[in-house]
Every structure is written in C-alpha cells, then in structure tokens.
Amino acid sequence: MKLKEYIQTKRIIADGAFGTYYISLYGDGSRAENGAGLSNLPELANIKAPERVIGIHTEYIEAGAQFVRTNTFASNTKSLSADMEKVKENIRAAVMCAKMAAGKVDREIYLAGDIGPIPVEGMLHSDRLTQEYIAIGETLLSQGIDILLFETFPELETILPAVTYLKENHDCTILVHFSVNQFGYSNTGLSAKRLIAEANACPYIDGTGLNCGVGPGHMEKLIRKIAPDDTTFLSVFPNSGYPKYLNNRLTFTDNAEYFTEKMKEIAALDVGIFGGCCGTTPEYIRRIAAGISADHPVRKTETEAEKITVSEHPAYGFMERRVKEPAHKLIAVELVPPLNANDEKLLDAAHILKNAEVDVVTFPDSPSGRTRADSVLMAEKIRLETGLCVMPHICCRDKNAIAIRSTILGASLNHITNFLLLTGDPVPILFRQTTKSVFNFDSVGMMKIVQEMNSDTFTGHPVTYGGAINHNRMNTKAETERIRRKMAAGATFFMTQPIFSAEQADVIRKMKKETGATILVGLMPLVSRKNAVFMKNEMTGIEIPDTVIERYREDMSREEGEACGVQIAREFMAMTDDFADGYYFSFPFNRVHMLKKILK
C-alpha cells in the first residue's frame, strides 16, 4: 500500500536519529573506538562499515519503526568531499543497507530516501545545487525507493525546482521537513506556519512537517499553531532535547520518558508520522511506539491551530499619495550617509529637500561595500530634524535573518516604515580577508522575512518595502522574472539604476508592461565631465554612453555642468513619462538643489 493511502487511516512510527546514535556507538572518529575509527560522518559507513548501518536500521525497526530513512542525509558532494559518481555509489550502498534491514521483518516497512541540505557558503539558490538535488533524488529512485524526504531545510525555495522536476518526471511521494528554532522561525527568518502553508500549497509535495532544531516541548507548541491542508499530512521529528558539550563532545540528555509524554500530547493533534531527530535512540522509538495508538488521528478542534493565507496586507507608506492621486509622479531622492562622523553637508541637503516636492528621502546601506553611517540611524535623524518621509536601504550582505528582523523592528518602533530591500554590493576584494559577507539569502529571501513580519508582527500596521531593478543586466528576461518574484514576496514598488539612453528606457518600459510593477525610474544628473567619466568607469551597474559624456566640456564651470545635468534629466523624464510612476534621483555630492530646476 502506498504511503499516502496508508496514512489516511493509520499513524506511522518512524525511526530516530541515525547520526547522533551512530556517534554514541562508534565515537566521533577522533580515536579508534570499537575497531575502525572511521570519520565521524555516518554516511561514510555505508561503504566502509555497512554492518553498522544495517545494525542501526535493524534496531529501529525492531523498536517499532515502520518508516525508515536511508543513511544519506549528508550524501552530497560537499559533505563527502567527493564527485557525484562517488556520491551515487554511497547512496546505492545506503539503500542496500536499508533494504537488508527491512527484509528481516515480516511487515511492511516504508523506506524513505533521506536528502539533507547541501552545505554551501553564501546564497542558497543556484542551478548547480538544483542539479545535484535532482541527481541525488534520481539515484535514490533508481534503487527502488519511492519516497523522498527532504529534511532540515530553512525554506522551500532552495529545493522547489528539484522537487518540481522529480515529481513531474517520476512516480514518487515527496515529503519536505523544515527546521525552526524554539520561537518558530527558520534561519532564513520564515515562520513554521508560513513554511508549512507554502509547502501545503505546492502540488508537488505530498506531506510536510518539522524536524530537528527543537525539543518535544517546543515542538508541541509549534504544532498547535499549524493546521495541515486536507490533502497533506504532518510529520514531527523533534530532537530529544537540547545538546550540551561534555569533554568537548556534543551530547544529549537521556530523557526518553519526558520525550514520550510530549509525543503523546502531539498525538492529540493532526499528525501522521512520529519520529525522532538528534539525540533520540531506538529506546525512544520503542516507547512512543508503545504509547501512541496507530489509529488515525482526530482532526484538530479546540487547539490554537489556524490556517494562514500567504498574501499581502495593503501597505502604501510613502506611496499613499500615488494611490490617492494616480496621476501623481512619485519623487524619491537619495542622500548618501557620510563616510565619517561629519553629517553637516547631508543635513544641509535634507533641509533643502524639506521645501521641495519630495515624497521620500532614501539612504543607501554602505554602497559599494564601503562603511558609511548606518542607513536606519541616518534616516531617523533626518526624520526627527526635518519631518521628511524617510526610507533606509537595507541589504543582506552584512546581516543574517536575526539582524534583519531586529533592524526592521527597531526602525518600526521609531516610526520608520518604508524600506528598499537589496541584496547589496559585495565587499571589495581588498578587504575580504578580514571582512566577510553574510549573504544567507538574496533580496527576495529578505522580502519574504519582512512579508512574514507584516503577517504576524505588524498586523494592521504593515511596513512598505520595494526592490531594485538593474535594467543593464545582460539577461533582461531573468531580471523581469526577479521583479515578479519580488512582487510575490510583497514588494510594492521598484527603483531602477540611473538611465542614460533611450535603449535603457525601452528596456524598463518593456519590464513595466510585462509585470505591471510600480516603477520609479532612476535619474542621476551628472555635474561635470570628470564626474561622468568616473561614474562610467568606476561604478558597477551604471552604463553611461559616450554620447552623454560628450555633452560635458572639460572647461565647463560648475554652473554650466549642473545645467547640463538638469537638461539631460529633463529629457529622460520626458522620454519615460508614458510609463514611469515616478523618479528616483541620485545627485552626485548630494547636490540636491538641482532638483528644483529639474522639476520646474
């Protein structure tokens, strides 16, 4: 009987942790314990010590497990430090071990091909990763495994392309488990409710759940807040508890009795598969198999569970005038925070803008990877001193999910509710030995975090955020798709890189037509030939044709250079008036007094 059919009428008891139990039996590889003294990576035993793998699977099955994961959680090129052919060999050996253990009993055992996150530095998404997940999945399926379990993931997007491909091309059951902390958030900042809701909404995923990250007590509280879709089922695989270091080794307290009691409480909820993660052993599984009825669980009734809809609250912020007056062109002006502690020139510029027709003033977040005054703190100072509507840029180059949530919360408490969310420029090569980028995710991932905060933290008072458009990318189709992804993640407006040609304007016009996005066209009124040449050659993402540079003479006075910049800006405003929802001005050297002449 297929797993999806069986789960409709019966619960299933799964196995417990393989890795931590393996280390408790055979050591961490630091010394020759019990013989081989293998590396502490249990997956290597699939080939080097298969009898150990078969023995652990057998123990769990004899304890009552009917759902068994292959010893392949870390069977990938990074963890094994091997090429894909060696990884496939390891996977085939793992499946053989699991089948041999399952063949020892006269009852149906569901074998699931275990797939864990491939450890990579930086952002979690790439075509290479997708291809490796597909190769791992297809290798498992080729060995007769028809259940694939992606577990301990912080988000769905990382594996969604692989999941989609595998489901469309193979007759298999796909389960996805996420890992969150005791507060219910993954390390990409997404809540358990949202993760489960997104997985439930995916037609390629048959069941979902949570594993690792938390002990059974916190797991029970989290499950109470989650309602499974009628077409899927939940799985729970909590850790035995929280680890501690003893004699430089990671250990878990033996609390099988407490674990079992908490799993019984979870059994009162709508959960289909019960198992264990780090710290659990066959004894834990024996206890829950004896203490939890196999009868189908009763649907939630008097719990805290509530379904969530992944949608956006109406949030306008600085765009409110545009909503009320559709013909109004939004005006945003960028003020670059200082490199030092002297903000006199920036304050002077801000006070000039106070008397101009400006909808919002924006503050970059250390552009070009060079340290500048904090964008949020700078925005707050300008807001207090001038009353202007402000919008700091926030990039994920330097911040993980914890820091980003903290920044957004702090800004909101100080009445800053508009943000431009960016991936961020990389740290210059010269400083990379001492200054490390974070880049746990890109701007789309960061938008999902803020979208989540709008759903559960800023209910009724959501923040407004937008993204950037780089129309100068070679692959404009990919950039257009990123616009759509950002809109799906809650972005309500977009600001482009400065335009300097009719061709660039046409690219943005096409993006506007294909996506319907609210777009503020970037304008940078250059002030001299030297300024124009510098921007052309030194600034990534900005393309300035020679025809623009030639309009600036070497012997121009300051006034003449500014007048030329004003004229060119006015020309591009006229050129884009048919589609632009507004304009995003970036004035060299914060020469914002030019704005009045441009808008005149």
Enumerate the known binding-site residues for Zn(2+). 212, 277-278
CA distance 30 to 39: 8
CA distance 528 to 479: 31
The DSSP element (H or E) to which 274 belongs, if any, is strand 273-274
Whether 484 contacts 515, CB under 8 Å: yes
Axis crossing angle, helix 160-169 with helix 127-142, rounded to the nearest 10: 40
Cα–Cα distances in angstroms (integers) from residue 335 to residues 267, 328, 393, in the given order: 56, 22, 11
425 token code pair? 């420029």
150 token code pair? 């992606």
Annotated binding residues, written as ranges, equal: 212, 277-278
Number of neighbours of residue 282 by Cβ within 10 angstroms: 20
455 token code pair? 């759903």
Whether 472 contacts 543, CB under 8 Å: yes
Whether 402 contacts 430, CB under 8 Å: no
Whether 585 contacts 329, CB under 8 Å: no
Whether 235 contacts 14, CB under 8 Å: yes
The DSSP element (H or E) to which 582 belongs, if any, is strand 582-586
CA distance 441 to 419: 17
Tokens 């402000």 correspond to 390
Task: State whether residue 1 is helix, strand or coil.
Answer: coil
- Give which of 424, 420, 444 is closest to 363, Cα–Cα: 420
CA distance 121 to 270: 37
Number of neighbours of residue 523 by Cβ within 10 angstroms: 24
End-to-end CA distance of the chain: 75
Whether 408 contacts 375, CB under 8 Å: no
- Radius of gyration, alpha carbons of the chain: 28
- Give which of 373, 321, 378 is closest to 347, Cα–Cα: 378
Whether 457 contacts 428, CB under 8 Å: no
465 token code pair? 């955020």
- Give which of 500, 321, 308 is closest to 418, Cα–Cα: 321
> In this structure, are strands 249-251 and 244-246 parallel, antiparallel, or unpaired?
antiparallel
